[in-house]
């Protein structure tokens, strides 16, 4: 009877060891966001002066209107509307505004004005510039500028990885992760990577989501074409390794248990 108990104990120990090798435990510090106690003062001191600047290859819609009833005077300074498609009966679909492309020098070709440099300007600055130029031809023009191709990509250990379009020209890191369904339980909250292109050069920044200091980062508000990558944690890496080699591990553990059981009889 004793000889049967010993092999059983050995087998039990080996099984526990094999489970420990292929799994890991996550602590509260690994999972909880914004753990710092000074969260209130940090939020109060957060820099709110965020201004997105227009960049090369941005696509903009610009509409010029007047407060007066006669809008015909604005036609030379607005691009004509285009059809976004056609219906089955041959009729035109919805009309859409044409876009202006910001070229490599930061310019757009504006009707009636020629080249206008808006690269590096915020929405407010570009709006003011166009108003000043159009005031030579129009009385109190109203200028509305919208960036149509503002997208951010969220990749890695999130629930819904993908590229997301931003409609209001302002999005924070937390909002982008929210669009992607938040991090999975396997996301490394201490190592979230931001990839940004600045003047043709890739820049990198890492966020630690477990610290409230992330809210004060100058990179907390994202720019157009930013990429967020959430690194997998150790549990995910081990799990991936286990899924690929579980047959080998189980076979090896079983063989080792059999050999030990025979030797201690």
pLDDT tens digits for range 51-79: 789 999 999 999 999 987 678 899 999 99
**Of 23-32, 154-163, 230-239, which has the strongest mean pLDDT?**
154-163
Q: Into which CATH architecture does domain 28-51+150-232 fall?
A: Roll (3.10)
**Rounded distance, CA 145 to CA 100, Å?**
10
Span 19-48, pLDDT tens digits:
555 454 555 455 555 555 544 444 444 444
Query: What confidence tier does 95 reach under pLDDT thresholds 50, 70, 90?
Result: confident
Query: What confidence tier does 4 reach under pLDDT thresholds 50, 70, 90?
Result: very low
pLDDT value at residue 47:
45
Chain mean pLDDT for the chain? 81
With a cut of 60, say whether residue 5 has pLDDT above it.
no
Residue 5 has phi, psi (to 5 degrees) of -70, -40
pLDDT value at residue 45:
47
List the chain domain ranges: 2-26+236-263, 28-51+150-232, 59-147
pLDDT value at residue 71:
80
51: tokens are 């201004």
Rg (CA), the chain: 29
* DSSP letter for each residue of 11-74: HHHHHHHHHHHH-----HHHH-S---TTHHHHHHT-------B--TT-EEEEEEEESSS--GGG
111: tokens are 């009707």
The answer to whether 118 touches 129, Cβ cutoff 8 Å, is yes
pLDDT value at residue 236:
76
More confident residue, 165 or 7: 165
Least confident window among 89-93, 152-156, 235-239, 250-254 = 89-93
Residue in 15, 12, 24, 10 with CA at minimum distance from that of residue 253: 15
Domain 59-147 in CATH 3.30.1950.10? The answer is yes
């Amino acid at each position: 009877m004793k000889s049967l108990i010993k092999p059983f104990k050995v087998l039990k120990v080996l099984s526990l060891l094999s489970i420990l090798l292929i799994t890991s435990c996550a602590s509260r510090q690994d999972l909880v966001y914004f753990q710092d106690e000074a969260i209130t003062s940090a939020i109060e001191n957060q820099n709110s002066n965020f201004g997105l600047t227009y960049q090369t290859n941005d696509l903009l819609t610009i509409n010029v209107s007047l407060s007066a009833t006669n809008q015909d005077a604005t036609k030379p300074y607005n691009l004509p509307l285009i059809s976004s498609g056609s219906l089955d009966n041959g009729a035109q679909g919805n009309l859409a505004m044409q876009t202006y492309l910001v070229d490599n020098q930061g310019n757009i070709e504006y009707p009636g004005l020629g080249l206008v440099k808006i690269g590096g300007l915020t929405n407010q600055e570009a709006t003011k510039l166009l108003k000043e130029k159009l005031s030579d031809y129009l009385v109190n023009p109203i200028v509305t500028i919208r960036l149509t191709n503002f997208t951010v990509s969220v990749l890695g250990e999130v629930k819904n990885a993908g590229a997301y379009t931003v409609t209001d020209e302002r999005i924070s890191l937390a909002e982008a992760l929210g669009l992607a369904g938040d991090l999975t339980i396997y996301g490394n909250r201490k190592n979230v990577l931001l990839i940004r292109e600045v003047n043709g050069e890739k820049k990198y920044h890492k966020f630690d989501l477990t610290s409230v200091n992330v809210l004060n980062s100058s990179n907390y508000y994202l720019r157009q074409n930013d990429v967020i990558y959430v690194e997998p944690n150790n549990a995910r890496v081990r799990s991936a390794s286990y899924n690929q080699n579980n047959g080998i591990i189980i076979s090896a553990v079983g063989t080792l248990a059999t050999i030990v059981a025979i030797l201690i009889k």
